[in-house]
C-alpha cells in the first residue's frame, strides 16, 4: 500500500526571501467533517482562555522510501529480511523538507510563537504548541465549541472545520485537536468476581481435556484462564525466557489506567510464584502518572501487566503510562485539553534509540471517529516502529462489527458522513496495515467469541501481504452478502487471535475475571516476545513487523479457528469463522512450538 495522498505531496515553489504576510493571506479549508460523531452534541462556545495543546504534523516526503524498507526487512523471502533500520535512519526518512520547516516557522512566528516555545519531535515532523482557544481560532480561522457525549457525560473542546493560509496547505498535513472526536477507550467487557465461578473451577480439578496442539490441558481452563492455562493451550510449557539477552516486552496504558504493583505481586504469588518480587520499568509519557493507590488501580492496566509480565518472566518489561484527555469542566478553569494519546506515545518511543522488540496496546475506537489524516499519520508511525524491528500488536475491539454498544441487538451502526447509512464500523488503530491486530477466542476447543472485533477498513486499502488470504474468504461469501455494509477492498482485520474471556486477574486485592480483546493482545504479544527471545538467543534479529511472515508462512504455526460469529448492526452473523483467514479470528491462535521452529529456520 502507498499512502501517496498524504506522504507524497508535491512541494510549492521555493519561498521568496521576504516574509509572508500570513495574517493577510486568504484562508482555505484544510479539513472538515460533516458533524460530530453520534453521541456528541455541541454545547457552548469554548472559553477563549482555555488552553489547547495543538500538534502540527508536517509532511514526510520520503515516507514511500521508508515503507519500501519496511516491506523488505519484514519479508522472510527477501534478502534484507531482519535488516532493521536505526533511529537515525528512520528519522531521516520521516523528516520534512527544509522549506516546510522554514515556512511553518515563519507562520508560527507571525503569531508570536518563537522557537523556544515550540516542541519538536525527534524527526522534526511534528510541532507542538500551547495556545489559548482565542489564538487558535484566529490562526485556524475557526470557532471551537464544547461538545458533550450523551452516554458518558464527558466534555471536550473541538471544532468541525479549520482553515489555513493556502500557501501552508502543502506544508502541513494536519492539526489536532480540531476535528477529532475519538475517545480511544480501553477494550474490555464486564468485570466478574472470581468467587462467582469458583465452584465450576473446583469441580474440574484434576481433569484434563485436549488442547488445540493435541496436548492435555487442565479442564479448569475452560472456565478460568490463568498463565498456566495459556502456556498449556499454546504449547509453551517447556519454554523458559532469558533475562539477559536484550529481549524486552512493552505494554501501554492510556487515559488514567494505572498498573497496581501490590496487585501484580499478589497475582505473581497466585499464578507465577517464580516472578514474585520482580518489577518492571515504568515510563511516563506526556505526564502519565503512576498512581499506586488501590482506588486508582485500572482493570485494563492490571490485566495487561499481570498476564503480559506473568507469561514472559524473566524477560525485562516496560509499562508506558501516557496521559490522555483530562476531565474538562466547561464551567471551571481547566488544564490543557488533549486527546491525542497515540501521537504523544509515538513521539516518545520514536525518539528513543532502543525499544522493546514487542509492544502491545489494548485501546482504540471506531475508525470513522478518527479523521483520515490523523489515522494515516499515526499509522505511518506504526510503520516506523516496524522498520525499526518492533512487533506492534493491537486489540481488534470488543463490539464485533458494530459501535461501542456491547449489546449486538442495540448497536447503532451508521456512517458519519451526513448520509447516516447503516454500515459496519471498523476499529482504529487495529485496521492500520502496519500493525498486527488480535481478535478473541473462547473455550476448548477454541471458537471465535461473539464480541471479537473484525472487518474491513474504510481508510486503508488491502495490503499485498494479505491479498490471497482475504480474497479467499470473500470468495466464500454468497454474492451480495452484506453488500454496501463494508469496504470489500479494505485492509482486513484481525490478523490473529487468542483467548479473550474469563482471565483471572487481581484487582484491588481481590481475584476477578475479565474478558475482551484486551486479554487477547497482551497474550499473543507475550508469545511473540518468546519467539523474539528464541531468535535472539541464537544470534538472529527480532521478528519486527509480523504480518508478512504470518500471511506467507507463519500461518502454519497457528491453530485455525473455524467456528464462531460476531452478530451486530442488525445482522445475525456479520462475520464468521471459517477455514483460513476470517475477519473475526484472523489466521488463528498460536502454537508456540510450531512457530518457534518456523522463526528459527528463517535468517
Tens digit of each residue's pLDDT (9 = 90 or more) over 141-180: 999 999 998 887 888 899 999 999 999 999 999 999 999 9
Average pLDDT over residues 416-424: 80
Strand partners, 145: 45, 158
Tell me which of 147-156, 192-201, 351-360, 503-512 is least confident: 192-201
User: Is 560 annotated as ligand-binding?
Assistant: yes
Cβ atoms of residues 339 and 180 within 8 Å: yes
pLDDT category at 184 given cuts 50, 70, 90 is confident
Minimal CA–CA distance to 582: which of 473, 475, 458? 473
Rounded distance between C-alpha atoms, residue 84 and residue 402, angstroms: 37
Is pLDDT at 182 greater than 70 in this prediction?
yes
Cβ atoms of residues 360 and 521 within 8 Å: yes
User: Is 561 annotated as ligand-binding?
Assistant: yes
Is pLDDT at 279 greater than 90 in this prediction?
yes
pLDDT tens figures, 529-575: 999 999 999 999 999 999 999 999 999 999 999 999 887 787 765 67
Angle at 322 between CA 501 and CA 298, to 5 degrees: 40
- pLDDT: is 10 or 91 the higher one? 91
- DSSP 8-state symbol, 524: H
pLDDT category at 57 given cuts 50, 70, 90 is very high
Is pLDDT at 327 greater than 50 in this prediction?
no
Give phi and psi for 86, each to the nearest 5: -90, 170
Distances (CA, A) of 261 to 143, 204, 279, 361: 44, 31, 8, 19
The highest-confidence range among 9-23, 404-418, 499-513, by mean pLDDT, is 499-513
Minimal CA–CA distance to 248: which of 202, 146, 316, 201? 316
Minimal CA–CA distance to 439: which of 581, 236, 249? 581
- DSSP 8-state symbol, 214: S
Q: What percent of the chain has pLDDT over 90?
A: 73
User: Is 263 annotated as ligand-binding?
Assistant: no
Rounded distance between C-alpha atoms, residue 390 and residue 385, angstroms: 5
Is pLDDT at 5 greater than 60 in this prediction?
no
What is the per-residue DSSP string for 216-281? EEEGGGGT-B-HHHHHHHTT-TT----SSSS--EEEEEETT-B--HHHHHHHHHHH-GGGTT---E
User: Is 509 annotated as ligand-binding?
Assistant: no
Residue tagged 514487542 (cell numbers): 358
Average pLDDT over residues 307-328: 86
Average pLDDT over residues 70-76: 98
Cell triple for residue 296? 486508582
CATH architecture, domain defined by 192-601: 3-Layer(aba) Sandwich (3.40)
Cβ neighbours for 202, distance < 8 A, ≥ 6 positions apart: none
If you compute the radius of gyration of the chain from its CA atoms, what whole number of angstroms results? 24
Is pLDDT at 200 greater than 50 in this prediction?
no
Is pLDDT at 434 greater than 80 in this prediction?
yes
Per DSSP, helices labelled H in 9-161 are 63-74, 87-94, 98-109, 133-140
pTM: 0.93
Minimal CA–CA distance to 520: which of 385, 394, 392? 394
Cβ atoms of residues 50 and 143 within 8 Å: no
Locate CATH 3.40.50.200 in the chain. Answer: 192-601
Strand partners, 505: 512
Interhelix angle for 372-387 vs 63-74, to 10°? 50
Distances (CA, A) of 252 to 161, 319, 339: 31, 6, 16
Average pLDDT over residues 116-140: 96
For residue 529, the model assigns a pLDDT of 98
Minimal CA–CA distance to 176: which of 285, 63, 52? 52
Is pLDDT at 16 greater than 80 in this prediction?
no
SS3 content of the chain, % helix, strand, coil (to 5): 30, 25, 45
For residue 194, the model assigns a pLDDT of 45
For residue 205, the model assigns a pLDDT of 60
Is pLDDT at 11 greater than 70 in this prediction?
no
Distances (CA, A) of 58 to 105, 128, 173, 348, 600: 11, 11, 6, 17, 40
Q: b/e map of 561-592 (b: 16 or more CB within 10 Å)? A: bbebbbbbbebeebbbbbebbbbbbbbbbbbb
**Conformational region of residue 438, where left means phi above 0, alpha means psi within -120 to 50, and beta covers everything else:** beta
Cell triple for residue 18? 521576504
pLDDT category at 406 given cuts 50, 70, 90 is low
For residue 407, the model assigns a pLDDT of 61
For residue 329, the model assigns a pLDDT of 54
Rounded distance between C-alpha atoms, residue 366 and residue 458, angstroms: 11
Helix, strand counts (H, E) of the chain: 15, 29
For residue 351, the Cα-to-chain-centroid distance in whole angstroms is 19
Rounded distance between C-alpha atoms, residue 456 and residue 487, angstroms: 6
Residue tagged 508511525 (cell numbers): 381
For residue 469, the model assigns a pLDDT of 98
Residue tagged 492539526 (cell numbers): 175
Rounded distance between C-alpha atoms, residue 45 and residue 359, angstroms: 40
Q: What percent of the chain has pLDDT over 70?
A: 88
CA-based diameter of the chain, in Å?
82
Tell me which of 325-334, 394-403, 578-587 is least confident: 325-334
- DSSP 8-state symbol, 413: -
Rounded distance between C-alpha atoms, residue 183 and residue 192, angstroms: 24
**What is the average pLDDT score of the chain?**
89
For residue 411, the model assigns a pLDDT of 67
In three-state secondary structure terms, 374 is helix
As annotated, the active-site residues are 300, 304, 518
Distances (CA, A) of 95 to 92, 121, 232, 390: 5, 10, 46, 20
Rounded distance between C-alpha atoms, residue 59 and residue 57, angstroms: 7
For residue 324, the model assigns a pLDDT of 65
Cβ atoms of residues 399 and 407 within 8 Å: no
Interhelix angle for 87-94 vs 63-74, to 10°? 140
Average pLDDT over residues 28-51: 91
Amino acid at each position: 500500500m502507498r499512502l501517496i495522498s498524504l506522504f507524497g505531496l508535491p512541494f510549492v515553489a521555493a519561498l521568496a526571501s521576504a516574509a509572508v504576510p500570513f495574517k493577510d493571506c486568504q484562508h482555505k479549508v484544510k479539513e472538515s467533517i460533516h458533524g460530530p460523531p453520534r453521541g456528541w452534541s455541541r454545547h457552548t462556545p469554548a472559553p477563549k482562555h482555555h488552553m489547547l495543546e495543538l500538534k502540527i504534523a508536517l509532511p514526510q516526503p520520503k515516507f514511500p522510501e521508508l515503507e519500501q524498507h519496511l516491506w523488505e526487512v519484514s519479508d522472510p523471502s527477501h534478502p534484507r529480511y531482519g535488516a532493521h533500520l536505526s533511529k537515525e535512519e528512520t528519522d531521516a526518512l520521516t523528516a520534512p523538507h527544509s522549506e516546510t520547516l522554514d515556512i511553518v516557522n515563519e507562520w508560527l512566528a507571525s503569531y508570536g510563537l518563537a522557537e523556544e516555545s515550540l516542541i519538536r519531535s525527534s524527526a522534526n515532523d511534528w510541532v507542538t504548541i500551547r495556545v489559548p482557544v482565542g489564538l487558535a481560532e484566529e490562526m485556524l480561522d475557526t470557532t471551537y465549541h464544547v461538545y458533550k457525549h450523551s452516554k458518558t457525560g464527558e466534555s471536550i473542546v473541538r471544532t468541525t472545520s479549520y482553515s489555513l493560509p493556502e500557501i501552508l496547505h502543502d506544508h502541513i498535513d494536519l492539526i489536532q485537536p480540531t476535528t477529532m472526536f475519538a475517545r480511544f477507550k480501553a477494550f474490555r467487557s464486564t468485570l466478574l468476581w472470581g468467587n462467582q465461578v469458583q465452584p465450576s473451577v473446583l469441580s474440574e480439578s484434576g481433569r484434563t481435556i485436549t488442547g488445540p496442539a493435541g496436548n492435555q490441558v487442565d479442564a479448569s481452563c475452560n472456565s478460568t484462564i490463568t498463565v498456566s492455562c495459556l502456556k498449556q493451550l499454546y504449547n509453551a510449557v517447556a519454554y523458559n525466557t532469558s533475562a539477559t539477552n536484550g529481549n524486552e516486552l512493552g505494554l501501554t496504558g492510556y487515559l488514567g489506567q494505572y498498573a497496581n504493583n501490590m496487585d501484580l505481586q499478589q497475582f505473581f504469588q497466585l499464578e507465577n510464584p517464580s516472578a514474585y518480587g520482580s518489577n518492571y520499568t515504568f515510563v511516563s509519557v506526556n505526564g502519565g502518572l503512576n498512581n499506586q493507590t488501590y482506588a486508582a488501580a485500572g482493570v485494563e492496566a492490571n490485566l495487561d501487566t499481570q498476564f503480559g509480565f506473568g507469561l514472559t518472566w524473566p524477560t525485562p518489561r516496560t509499562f508506558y503510562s501516557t496521559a490522555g484527555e483530562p476531565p474538562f469542566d466547561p464551567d471551571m478553569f481547566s488544564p490543557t485539553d488533549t486527546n491525542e494519546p497515540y501521537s504523544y506515545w509515538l513521539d516518545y518511543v520514536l525518539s528513543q534509540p532502543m525499544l522493546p522488540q514487542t509492544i502491545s496496546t489494548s485501546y482504540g475506537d471506531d475508525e470513522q471517529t478518527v479523521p483520515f489524516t490523523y489515522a494515516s499519520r499515526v499509522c505511518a508511525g506504526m510503520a516506523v516502529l516496524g522498520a525499526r524491528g518492533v512487533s506492534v500488536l493491537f486489540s481488534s475491539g470488543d463490539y464485533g462489527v458494530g459501535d461501542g454498544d456491547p449489546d449486538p441487538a442495540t448497536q447503532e451502526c451508521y456512517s458519519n458522513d451526513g448520509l447516516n447509512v447503516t454500515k459496519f464500523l471498523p476499529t482504529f488503530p487495529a485496521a492500520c496495515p502496519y500493525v498486527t491486530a488480535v481478535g478473541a477466542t473462547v473455550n476448548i476447543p477454541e471458537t471465535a467469541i461473539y464480541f471479537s472485533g473484525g472487518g474491513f477498513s474504510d481508510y486503508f486499502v488491502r495490503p499485498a501481504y494479505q491479498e490471497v488470504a482475504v480474497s479467499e474468504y470473500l470468495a466464500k461469501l454468497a454474492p451480495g452478502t452484506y453488500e454496501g455494509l463494508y469496504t470489500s477492498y479494505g485492509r482486513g482485520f484481525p490478523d490473529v487471535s487468542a483467548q479473550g474471556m474469563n482471565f483471572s486477574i487481581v484487582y484491588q486485592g481481590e481475584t476477578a475475571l475479565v474478558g475482551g480483546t484486551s486479554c487477547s493482545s497482551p497474550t499473543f504479544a507475550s508469545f511473540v516476545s518468546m519467539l523474539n527471545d528464541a531468535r535472539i538467543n541464537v544470534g538472529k534479529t527480532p521478528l519486527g513487523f509480523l504480518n508478512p511472515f504470518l500471511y506467507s508462512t507463519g500461518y502454519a504455526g497457528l491453530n485455525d479457528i473455524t467456528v464462531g460469529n460476531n452478530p451486530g448492526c442488525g445482522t445475525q452473523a456479520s462475520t464468521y469463522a471459517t477455514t483460513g483467514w476470517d475477519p473475526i479470528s484472523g489466521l488463528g491462535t498460536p502454537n508456540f512450538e510450531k512457530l518457534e521452529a518456523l522463526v528459527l529456520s528463517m535468517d
